[in-house]
Every structure is written in structure tokens, then in C-alpha cells.
């Protein structure tokens, strides 16, 4: 039987995990925010519990109070903390010129994605100069591994056992995407492993095309991926092959400049 001290510690740990889950849900929602019901559902919490956590996060400036749309969003303190010179900030600074070069050469929106548990988070993006830009993901937004090209490239970079475990874990979260299921994700992973590039063609966003490749990491599974997104109707086989060359070249440039 737990002692009172141990029970209190367990309760405190659970509270932290729940608060972290709520912050992840707000991050996934992006600038559009999320309603109380959406946060509760995403975190598998009772509405009263989610509301209590959100109130506390608002007091600490980690979340914003809902306005007329009744949607909660990440608070100012989250952004302020992200400005600290952490390894992630330095990593983004290193790859930002690579993203700009990719966007310039392809005319597509370029992304830097990072694996975060069973999700991929967008660390940075570079907009193209195309008249019809395609931006399905914003900086800070999260997607389950296997949802989108960059997230699929990161999933494919894991060993087979770990990859299969994640596919089973994220399976319930694939329901909002009619063209995605565990088997289609497995198929996309196999293709990514064979070619070095993950492709997403209308599976996440209508008329969306995505391509991603994992950035090699010495002595560990890759945790970063470079990806691009464009309108599927504007993409041909020759363009796909050219974009593969661009991604490979610019990633190589980025690795060389880092001394990898």
C-alpha cells in the first residue's frame, strides 16, 4: 500500500501529465484553437477536469482565455520559453537556410519536422513564392506519425518493431482521415524505406501532395525530417523526381555545413 507521501507524489505526477497532454492538444490545434469539448476528448479527460487544468494554465499564461469563439489557444509564455537558446532553437537556426533553398528551388512550402513521442511537430517552415501556396501545417502544429509525408518519413526511419508498435498506438487517431488506416500507413512506410522518400498524395488534405525524407543522425534513429507540400494537381512524375533531387542535395548541404 502506498504511503501518504507516495500517493501525493503519484497524484502530482498525474496532474503534470494531464497538463502536458492539454498543452499538446492546444499545440496540435494550432492558431485555430480548440474548444473545451475537443480538448477533453483529445486528452481522454472529463470536461470538468479539462476545464480545471485549462484555468490553471491560463493563470500561468501557458494558455489563453477563450474569446467569443470559445476556443482555447497556447499562451504567450509558451512562445517566450521557446526563445531560450536550447538545442532545438539552434537546430532550427541551422536548417532554416536549407528550408529556404528548398522552397525557392521547388516552389513548394518546405518544412522541418521533429519526432516527438508518437507525433511529429513542425519546427519551422519556409513559404514558396508561388501564386497558389499550399500550407497544410503551421509551425508548432503536431501530427501523428504516419500522417503526412514528414511524419511518415520519421516513422519509417524507426526499426520495424518500434514502427509497428507506434502504428498500433496511433490507429485510433487515424479515423479523421478516411484514406488512412494502419495498412495504408504500413504501405507508405515500406515505400519510404525502399526509396528514401515518403509520399502523401491526397491522404491527409484534399488536393495535397507531400514528400519527406528523414535527416540521418549518427548513432541513433533520425529525429528530424525535411518535407515539402504542394497542390497535388500541379505535380507530375518528372516534378516528383526533380524534387527528390532537390531534397537530397539540400539535405546533404545542411549535413556538410554541420560537419556531419
Residue 252: pLDDT over 60: yes
Q: Where are the beta strands (DSSP E) in 135-254?
A: 142-144, 198-201, 208-215, 224-231
162: Cβ–Cβ under 8 A, 6 or more apart, which residues?
221
Q: What is the pLDDT of residues 48-81, one digit of tens each?
A: 999 999 999 999 999 999 988 999 999 998 888 7
Residue 2: pLDDT over 50: no
**What pLDDT is attached to residue 260?**
54
Rg value, the chain, Cα: 19
Rounded-to-integer distance, Cα 106 and Cα 87, Å: 28
Residue 119: pLDDT over 90: yes
User: Among 42, 10, 231, which residue's Cα sits nearest to residue 142?
Assistant: 42
Task: Measure the CA dihedral 151/153/156/159, to 10°.
Answer: -90
**CA distances from residue 131 to 4, 127, 138, 220, 231 in whole angstroms, order as listed:** 63, 11, 18, 40, 12
3: Cβ–Cβ under 8 A, 6 or more apart, which residues?
none
Q: What is the pLDDT of residues 21-42, one digit of tens each?
A: 999 899 888 888 999 999 999 9
Give the mean model confidence (pLDDT) for residues 226-245. Answer: 93
Domains and CATH numbers, the chain: 4-80 (1.10.10.10), 85-258 (3.30.450.40)
Greater confidence (84 vs 5) lies with 84
Cell of 27: 499545440
Q: Where are the beta strands (DSSP E) in 72-193?
A: 73-74, 109-116, 119-126, 142-144
Kindly tell me the burial class for residue 245, based on how many C-beta atoms sit within 10 Å of its own C-beta (0-12, 13-18, 19 or more): exposed
Return the sign of the alpha-carbon dihedral for residues 30, 32, 38, 39.
Answer: positive
Q: What is the pLDDT of residues 123-150, one digit of tens each?
A: 999 987 764 556 667 888 889 999 999 9
- Model confidence at 259, in pLDDT bands (50, 70, 90)? low
Q: What is the pLDDT of residues 146-205, one digit of tens each?
A: 999 999 999 999 999 999 999 999 999 998 888 999 999 999 999 999 999 999 988 888
Amino acid at each position: 500500500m502506498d504511503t501518504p507521501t507516495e500517493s501525493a507524489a503519484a497524484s502530482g505526477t498525474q496532474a503534470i501529465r494531464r497538463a502536458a497532454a492539454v498543452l499538446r492538444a492546444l499545440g496540435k490545434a494550432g492558431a485555430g484553437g480548440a474548444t473545451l469539448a475537443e480538448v477533453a476528448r483529445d486528452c481522454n479527460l472529463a470536461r470538468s477536469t479539462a476545464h480545471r487544468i485549462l484555468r490553471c494554465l491560463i493563470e500561468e499564461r501557458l494558455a489563453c482565455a477563450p474569446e467569443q469563439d470559445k476556443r482555447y489557444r497556447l499562451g504567450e509564455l509558451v512562445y517566450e520559453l521557446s526563445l531560450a537558446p536550447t538545442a532545438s532553437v539552434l537546430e532550427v537556426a541551422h536548417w532554416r537556410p536549407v528550408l529556404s533553398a528548398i522552397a525557392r528551388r521547388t516552389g513548394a512550402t518546405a518544412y522541418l519536422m521533429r519526432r516527438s513521442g508518437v507525433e511529429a511537430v513542425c519546427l519551422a517552415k519556409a513559404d514558396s513564392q508561388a501564386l497558389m501556396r499550399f500550407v497544410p501545417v503551421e509551425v508548432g502544429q503536431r501530427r501523428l506519425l504516419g500522417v503526412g509525408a514528414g511524419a511518415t518519413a520519421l516513422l519509417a526511419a524507426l526499426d520495424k518493431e518500434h514502427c509497428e508498435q507506434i502504428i498500433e498506438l496511433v490507429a485510433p487517431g487515424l479515423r479523421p482521415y478516411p484514406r488512412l488506416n494502419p495498412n495504408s500507413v504500413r504501405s507508405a512506410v515500406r515505400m519510404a524505406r525502399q526509396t528514401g522518400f515518403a509520399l502523401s498524395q491526397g491522404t491527409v488534405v484534399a488536393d495535397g501532395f507531400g514528400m519527406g525524407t528523414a535527416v540521418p543522425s549518427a548513432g541513433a534513429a533520425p529525429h528530424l525530417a525535411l518535407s515539402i507540400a504542394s497542390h497535388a494537381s500541379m505535380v507530375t512524375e518528372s516534378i516528383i523526381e526533380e524534387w527528390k533531387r532537390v531534397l537530397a542535395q539540400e539535405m546533404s548541404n545542411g549535413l556538410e555545413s554541420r560537419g556531419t
